[in-house]
Amino acid sequence: MSTTDLDPRTPVLVGVGQSSERIDQPGYLGLSAVELAAAAAREALSDTGTDVDAVAAAVDTVAGVRQFEISTPGAPAPLGRSDNYPRSVAGRIGAHPRRAVLEVGGGQSPQHLVNEFAATIAGGGAEVVLLFGSEAISTTRHLAGADERPDFAEHTDGRLEDRGYGLKGLVSRYAAEHGLVGAPEMYGLFENARRARLGLSREAYARSMGEMFAPFTSVAAENPYAAAPVERDAAELVTPTDTNRPIAAPYPRYVVARDQVNQGAAVLLMSLGAARRLGVPQDKWVFLHGHADLRERNLLERADLSSAPASVMAARHALEVAGIDVDEVATFDFYSCFPIAVSNTAVDGLGLSADDPRGLTLTGGLPFLGGAGNNYSMHAIAETVQHARAKPGTFGFVGANGGMLSKYSVGVYSTTPAPWQADGSAALQAQIDSWPAPPQSHKAHGWATIETCTVKHDRTGRRTGIVVGRLEADGSRFLATTTEGDDDILALLADGEPVGRRAFAKWTPRGNRVTTSEARMAELHPVRVPGFRDDYENILVRRDGHVLEVTINRPEQRNSLTPPANDELDEVFDAFFSDADLWVAILTGAGDKAFSAGNDLLWSAGGKPMWVPDNGFAGLTSRRSLPKPVIAAVNGFAMGGGCEIALACHLVVADQSAQFALSEVKVGLIAGAGGLIRLPRAVPQKLANEMILTGRRLSADEALHHGLVNRVVPAGTALDGARALAADILAASPTSVRISLQVMEETQGISDTVDAVSHPTDAVDDLMLSEDMIEGLTAFAQKRPAQWKNR
C-alpha cells in the first residue's frame, strides 16, 4: 500500500531516543530523571531528520511514564522530584503541549501509551505526541548521602492529567501480611508453579533459566545504554555466590531485573499529515501494524498460577491484527523482569525456543540493560524502530509486561505502510474477566495441598517461606508463611519437591502459618489457655471481687494501642469471659487526658509490623460475643479506635472531659474496627454520617443526649462512675444478666419484633435450670438479699 492512499490521520512513529549514564563512567553528570528524559526526548526530536525546533513547537501532547519514586504512595525521593514530570520534560525541550499525561504504573505503560495515542491520533484527538520515561535510581542512591547533594525538586505550572498509581488488584493487605510485598517473591510463586507443571528438577529448571538469559547478556554487552554490559554464561547466571546471592527461590540476583539504573527513552508519534507538513523523511516512518492491551485476573483469582494466559492472548491478538504469523516476525523484545515473563509468553505461548536465532531481546533485557522502572519497554520500542528502519519491510514485536504478570501490552511494528486498525482487546478482556475464580479463605485452618511456594532471602541470611495452598476441606485457596525457626517446612520448600505435598495451615493474628503436620503446628502455635499473667507491659489489671478493672497504661501516648497492647487486652478479655467468678469488666485509660487515642500511628508510620487479634481492636471490636457486661470508663478523649472500643462495650460512663470522635478520615484512614457499622446504629444516621465523614467530636453531654453513653459524671471520676454502674449490675443475677445478653445478641438481626420475641433459644432453658433463678425467687419470697451463685 502506498502512503498516498492512507488517511492523513494515520499514526506513525517518526523519532526515538535513548539516554543513560553510569556512576563509574567518565564524564558522569548525575542527571535527574527529568534531565535523562529530556536528553532522550531531544534525541527523539533529532531522530526525525527535520527541523528540531519546528517539531518541538508542534508537540500538542506529552505523556510520561511514572518513575518508581512516584509509583506508590509515600515512596521516598531523597533528592526531590518534579511535581509535574511531563511538563518539566516538555519545558526542557521547548515544547508547550496543550495536554500532559502521567500514566499509571506498570511495565506495560510505554507500549500501552503507544497503542493509546496512536488511536488518539487516528481519531483526530492529537497530531504530534511525545512519550517518554526515565529513572535516576542509581544516581539517587549514590548521591543521597553526599555533603553537597543535588536538589531535583522542581515546580512546574500547567494542567496535568494524573491517572494515579494503577495499583488496584496488585497490592492488598492480605498479600502484604504474608510477605508478598516485592516482585521477586511474587514471580517466584509463578516460576515454581511452572517448574512443577513441567516436571523439572530444581537443577534442570535453573539451567533452563540460565540458558534463556545467557544470550540476553551478549546483547547487553554490545548495548551502549546497558547498566550491566557484562556477558555471562548460563551456569554463572544461576549459580549462587556472594555476588549472585539468592533473592527469592528460584532466583539469584543475576536473573532479577536491575533497578539501579540511570536511563531515559522517548518515542515521537505523529499523524501522516503532520509528518508531511513538518518534513519528516519517509524513511523515518514506522507504522504500528498490530497492538493489544489485556489484563490478567488478580493473583488469587487465577485458575492456574503456572501461566498467565492473558499475555499470550495479547501477543496472539496483536499478530492477528497485524495480519502476520509469529514466523514472519524478524525481531522480538519480550519484557524480561524475571525468566517466567519471557518463558510464559514467548516459549509456552508463542512456541518459540529459548535459542531462537532471531533472539528474544533487542536491548539485553531488564537484568542486563537495566529495569528502568516502568519505562523499560520504551527502550525496546526505540530499538525495534531502529531495526525496522535498517531492514525495511520486516516486522518487530514488543511485549511489555506490568504488575505481577498482570498487565500486558503488545505492539507489532514495520516500515511497511498500513492503515490504522482498531484491536479487539475489549472483547477479549470481557472473556478473561468471566473466567471462574477459585474460592478463597483468608483465615485458613486444616490440612491443605501446596499449590506453589517460594523462599525469600534477606541480606542477613534469614529465610521466609511463602505458600499458596488449597484447603482439603473445601478447595479454597489461601496464602501462608512459615514460622521463624521451623526448619522442617523450610527444608521442604527450599530443597524438596513441595508442590502437591500436604501441609497443615492455621490462622494466627499475624497471618496464616503453614508447617509439616498438625502436631508440629501445635508445638509452634499452641492454643492459649485463658488465664491472667502476673504483669503486663501495656495494661494494668485489678480484681475487685466479681469486678475486673483493666487500664490501658500508655498515658504518654494517650493510651493509643500497638499490636502488642492489643494482644494483651485480647488475652485479658479471654481470661475474663472464661472466669466464672468475674461478672463485670471495666475498661479505662491511665491518666486524665485520654481513654484511648486508638491505633498508635507512630508505630505504624515507623514501618513496624502490624497485626490485630482475631477478636479485634483491644480484643473486643471483632469478638462475636461478649457474654458478660463490659463497661467503658471514658476519661478524656475516645478518638478513632478508642471510640470504636467504647462502641463495642455494653455500657459507657463518660466524665465531663470526655470527647468522642471517629477521626480516621483526618489521617487518611477509615474506622475499620467496627465504627462504620456501630456508630450509625447507636446515634441518628445524619449525626453518624457527619462524625464519620468529618471527624466531628461529640462532648460528653452530646454523647449522652444522643444515647452514645449511659452516664456522665464529673471530670476525673469516670472510673468511680463505672464502679457504681458495675455495683448496680452486681445486685442482679449474673446468670440473668448473662442470658439477657445472649438473647439480645441472638435476636439483634431479626427486624420483626414478633419474630424476635418468638425466637427459639436454649438460653431460657438454661435459666430455668439455674440455681440463680431458684435463689432469686426464694430470696424475694423471704424478703432478703439474694446470694447469687452464677450457676
Q: What is the pLDDT of residues 421-434, one digit of tens each?
A: 999 999 999 999 99
Choose the weakest-confidence range: 271-285, 551-565, 690-704, 770-784: 770-784
Split at pLDDT 50, 70, 90, the class of 552 is very high
Cell of 376: 523499560
Rounded Cα distance, 106 and 85, in Å: 17
How far are the Cα atoms of 56, 653, 729 from residue 630, in angstroms, in the given order?
71, 11, 11
Residue 599, pLDDT score: 86
Split at pLDDT 50, 70, 90, the class of 240 is very high
| Exposed e or buried b per residue across 518-554, where buried means at least 16 C-beta atoms within 10 angstroms of its C-beta | eebbeebeeeeeeebeeebebbebeeeebbbbbbbbb
Strands 395-402 and 329-334: parallel
Give which of 508, 506, 490 is closest to 498, Cα–Cα. Answer: 490
Residue 780, pLDDT score: 77
Q: Is the pLDDT of residue 766 over 80?
A: no
Residue 765, pLDDT score: 63
**How many CB atoms are closer than 10 A to CB 710?**
18
Strands 547-552 and 539-544: antiparallel
Strands (E), 572-663: 584-589, 594-596, 630-634, 637-639, 651-655, 659-661
Topology given in CATH for the domain delimited by 539-730: 2-enoyl-CoA Hydratase; Chain A, domain 1 (3.90.226)
Q: What is the DSSP string of 356-421?
A: -TT-S-SS--TTTT---GGGHHHHHHHHHHHHHHHSTT-EEEEEEEETTTTEEEEEEEESS-----
Q: What is the pLDDT of residues 579-614, one digit of tens each?
A: 999 999 999 999 989 999 988 888 877 778 888 898
Q: Say which residue, 665 or 31, is predicted with more confidence.
A: 31
Phi and psi dihedrals of 406, rounded to 5?
-105, -45
Residue 607, pLDDT score: 73
Out of 556, 644, 690, 771, the active site residue is 644
Q: Say which residue, 612 or 746, is predicted with more confidence.
A: 612
Residue 554, pLDDT score: 95
Query: CA gyration radius for the chain?
Result: 32
**How many CB atoms are closer than 10 A to CB 211?**
16
Rounded Cα distance, 186 and 205, in Å: 18
Split at pLDDT 50, 70, 90, the class of 6 is very high
Task: Pinpoint the alpha helices (H) of 200-252.
Answer: 202-221, 234-238
Topology given in CATH for the domain delimited by 445-524: OB fold (Dihydrolipoamide Acetyltransferase, E2P) (2.40.50)
Most confident segment among 1-15, 166-180, 546-560 = 546-560
Nearest-10 crossing angle of helices 675-682, 685-694:
140
Q: Is the pLDDT of residue 59 over 70?
A: yes
Residue 72, pLDDT score: 86
Split at pLDDT 50, 70, 90, the class of 775 is low
Out of 211, 664, 690, 702, the active site residue is 664
* pTM of this structure: 0.89
**Alpha carbon of residue 578 to chain centroid:** 39
Q: Is the pLDDT of residue 777 over 80?
A: no
* Mean pLDDT, all residues of the chain: 93
**How many CB atoms are closer than 10 A to CB 774?**
12
Rounded Cα distance, 198 and 208, in Å: 12
Which CATH code is given to the segment(s) 3-146+154-174+255-433? 3.40.47.10
Phi and psi dihedrals of 341, rounded to 5?
-65, -30
- What does the pLDDT average to over 687-692? 93
Q: Is the pLDDT of residue 271 over 80?
A: yes
By three-state DSSP, how is residue 753 classified? helix
Cβ–Cβ < 8 Å for 641, 599: yes
Is 644 considered catalytic here?
yes
Q: What is the pLDDT of residues 631-683, one digit of tens each?
A: 999 999 999 999 999 999 999 999 999 999 999 888 888 988 899 999 999 99
Phi and psi dihedrals of 565, rounded to 5?
-65, -40
Cell of 605: 508510620
Domain segments of the chain as ranges: 3-146+154-174+255-433, 445-524, 539-730, 734-781
Is 231 considered catalytic here?
no
